[in-house]
Structure 1
C-alpha cells in the first residue's frame, strides 16, 4: 500500500496534489448524430435552400474621412492635366451627407465631382443613411443628432427633403417586397407540385396588433406558405385617414384573411387549398362563407399542433383551478375559519410540472403518429398512464 506524505498548503497549490479527489475523467468526444430517415417529406422540404445570391461589388464602399487633411495632401501631389498648374479642392453644394468637390486651378474653369453616386438629383449616401436610421428606429431628429455628434453637418436635411427621401424609400421597399412575395409564391407552387403533385398550396395565417385588446387602430395579417418559409402576402390595417378596414378591431384578422385569399390568384396566380389556423374558428368559419374561389374549391382547415398542445395545458390548468374546496383551519390564530384548497393540485397530483409534461408529450404523440389515428391514440394514452403510474404500481 503506497504511503502518503503530508504536504503544506503552498506546495499543494503548486503541484495540485489533492489526496481526497479522484482524477477527473475527460469528457467523451461528441459524435455527430445520425439523421433519421422519415416517411414524411416535410423535413426535406424545409431543408431546401432558397437563398438568393445578391451580387456585390468589392470596389464599391463608403468611408468617412477628414476633408481638409485628405485633400490638402492630395493637392500637393497632383497637377491640372490641361495647364499643369496647382489644383485646389473645395467642398460645395452640400446636401445632407452628400456634397460636390470643386476642382479649381489658376487657368481652367472649375470642375465638379459628386461625393457619391446620384439617383436623379439626390445623393445615394443620403438615401442609404435615411434607410439605415429608419431600420434602427430613428427619424430626422436622430439623423440630426448623429450628424452633429460626428461633426458631419449642423442639421441633416430639412423636413420637406426628409419626407421626399422617405416617400422614395417606401416606394422602392414596396417594389422589392412584391418581388420577394412573387418569388415565394412561385417557389411554393413548385415544391407543392413536386412533393404532393397538386396545384393548391397550404398556408398558415397569423395576425398582430399594436396593442392588446379589441380597440387597436393598427393591425397586420400575414400568410406564410408551409413548404417555403417566406411571406408571400401581407395586409396592413390602419385606423388613420388611410384606413382600409371599417368595423370592429376583432374583425381585422378575419377580413384580412378573406381579402388575401380572394386576390391570391390575381397577384400570384395560386390558390390556397389548405389553411392552417391558430385555433381561431371564427376566421375559418367566415372564410368558408365568403367562398374566395367560388364553388370550385372549398378551403380545408388543418389544425396547428402547437395550438392543440397549448389547449391541452390550458384546459388542465382550468380544471385544477375549478376544483376547489373550503377546508376548516384547525390550529393557529385563524382556527375555525376556512381556506380554499385545490383538490386536484399539489404533491402527487396535477402539479405545474406534470401539466407541462402531459402537454409536451401530447404534442409529441400527435406529431410522431400523424399517419395513423390508432397509433396516435395509443401514444397519447401511454403518456397518460406513464405519468399516472408510480414505482409501487409498476
Structure 2
C-alpha cells in the first residue's frame, strides 16, 4: 500500500470493499511503517553509494580527476512557499542515477502534541528522549530548504563516498549555488556552476509573455502570439544545445533568429541561419533546393515588437550566462525523480516526514535499479519472494526500458513537438474568437 501511496485509511477502505475485516490498528501500522523505513533506508543507501562510485569511475575515464558533475533540484509537497516538507536530490551526470537525497521537515506531530505541556516536568522528561527522534529537521523559510539540503549533501560527500562535487547544475531559481559556495565544503576547492539549459530556455518564454502582459498592442495577429513565443523560445534553446561547446556560436545563432524574423524580400538577413536542406530556416532550405527565386518572406516582426524583445535577447545572450550553458546540461532527471517521489507520497494526502523518507528511498531504488530492486527491500523485511512477484518486476522493468527507448526516437520527439504546437495554434485561435474569459479581476 505504501508503494501505491496509500496509508492506513486507504488500506481499511480497500479491505471494507473487499468484504475483509479491519486489517490492523494505528499502533501496529506505525510499527510496520518504522520497519519499512529502516529497510528502504538501508537498501537505498547501498544503491546511492554504488551509483556514486560508478559516477566517479566514469568521470575518471572522461578525464575528470578532481571531482564529478551533479545536477540538483528541490521540490516541495505543497505549491508556493508554505510547504512543511521538501526534498532535494543530487544526480550524477554520466550515470543519471541518484547519488544523495535529503528530506526536510518543519513539522513534528509529537512536538505539536506536547507543545501545550511545555514547562512541566512531564514535558522535560519527554523532551530529553525526543530530540533524536524528532521529525522536524529544518527551521527557517520553506524556500531555504533546498539551499540547506544542498549544502548538507556537499558537506558529507567525502565522508560518504570519498568524492567531491566539482560542477553543480542548477536552475537559477534559487540561491542554492551561492549557499554551497559560501559554505566552502571542500576548504578552498572551487565548485563551478552550470545552468540547466531547459530552464534558461523557459526564461525566454517567460519574459516574452511578460511583454505581452505589460505592453498593450504587442500581441495579436502578426505580433507576439503564443505560437511565435514558443517558436522563439525553441530556437533560442536550439541555439544553445547545438553549440554547447562554443559561446560565440551560441550568441550568433541566438541573434540569427531575430534577423530571420525581420527579413523581407528586399532585405533578407539569413547569413547566420543554418545552411542546408535540413535547416530550420526556410530561406536556406530554398537556397539548398534551388528554389530561391520563388521564395517569398512572411510579414516581418513589427518595429514596436522588435524594440520590445531586443532587451530580452541582449540579457539572455550575455557572456556570463552562456558560459554557464557550456556542456548542454539539464535537470530533467531531477524533475523526473521528484515526480516519482510525490507519486508515492501523494501531495493531496496528509503524512509526516517518515512517509516522505520512505517514498524518497523507494524512488531512489526505482530510479537507479528498477522495480526488481524492491525485492531486496522485501527480503530485508523477511518476506519470501515468489515467482509472480519476480516475474512481474522483471517484465515491468523490460517494458519500461523499451518504452523509454521508443520515446527517445526522432519520430517520437517530432510528434510531441507537433502536438504541442497544434494545441498552441488552436488556443490562440479560440482566444481571438472568444476574447479573454478568465483572468484575475477580469469581471470587475
Tell me by how many angstroms 1:312 deviates: 1.3
Match of 2:24 in 1: 157
Match of 1:315 in 2: 207
Q: Equivalences for 1:61-76 in 2 at 5 Å?
A: none
* TM-score of the pair, normalised by structure 1: 0.58
Higher strand share: 1
1:137 aligns with 2:137: no
Match of 2:158 in 1: 265
Contact 1:233/1:260, CA 8 A, preserved across alignment: yes
Tell me by how many angstroms 1:207 deviates: 0.7
Contact 1:206/1:277, CA 8 A, preserved across alignment: yes
Tell me by how many angstroms 1:183 deviates: 1.1
Q: Equivalences for 1:1-394 in 2 at 5 Å?
A: 133-150=1-18, 153-241=20-108, 242-280=135-173, 282-295=175-188, 297-324=189-216, 342=217, 344-390=218-264, 393-394=267-268
* TM-score of the pair, normalised by structure 2: 0.52
Match of 1:83 in 2: none
Q: Which has the higher contact order (CA 8 A, sep 6+)?
A: 2
Contact 1:273/1:298, CA 8 A, preserved across alignment: yes
Q: State the Cα RMSD in Å.
A: 1.9
Distance 1:248 1:281, change over 3 A: closer
* SS of 1:249 mapped into structure 2: coil
Higher helix share: 2
Tell me by how many angstroms 1:282 deviates: 1.6
The one-character-per-residue Cα deviations of 1:104-163 (angstroms, maximum 9, x if unpaired) are xxxxxxxxxxxxxxxxxxxxxxxxxxxxx1212222333344444445x52223333322
* SS of 2:2 mapped into structure 1: helix
The one-character-per-residue Cα deviations of 1:165-222 (angstroms, maximum 9, x if unpaired) are 2211111001111111111101110111112342401111111112122222111111
Distance 1:145 1:308, change over 3 A: closer
Distance 1:150 1:286, change over 3 A: closer
Distance 1:148 1:283, change over 3 A: closer
What are the ranges of 5 or more consecutive residues in structure 2 without an aligned counterpart? 109-134, 269-444
Q: Which has the larger radius of gyration?
A: 1
What are the ranges of 5 or more consecutive residues in structure 1 without an aligned counterpart? 1-132, 325-341
* SS of 1:134 mapped into structure 2: coil
The one-character-per-residue Cα deviations of 1:47-86 (angstroms, maximum 9, x if unpaired) are xxxxxxxxxxxxxxxxxxxxxxxxxxxxxxxxxxxxxxxx
- Count residues in correspondence: 242
Tell me by how many angstroms 1:281 deviates: 5.2
Distance 1:213 1:146, change over 3 A: closer
Distance 1:172 1:348, change over 3 A: same
Distance 1:323 1:161, change over 3 A: closer
Distance 1:385 1:137, change over 3 A: same
CA distance in 2, matches of 1:145, 1:308: 46
CA distance in 1, matches of 2:166, 2:64: 13
CA distance in 2, matches of 1:182, 1:200: 15
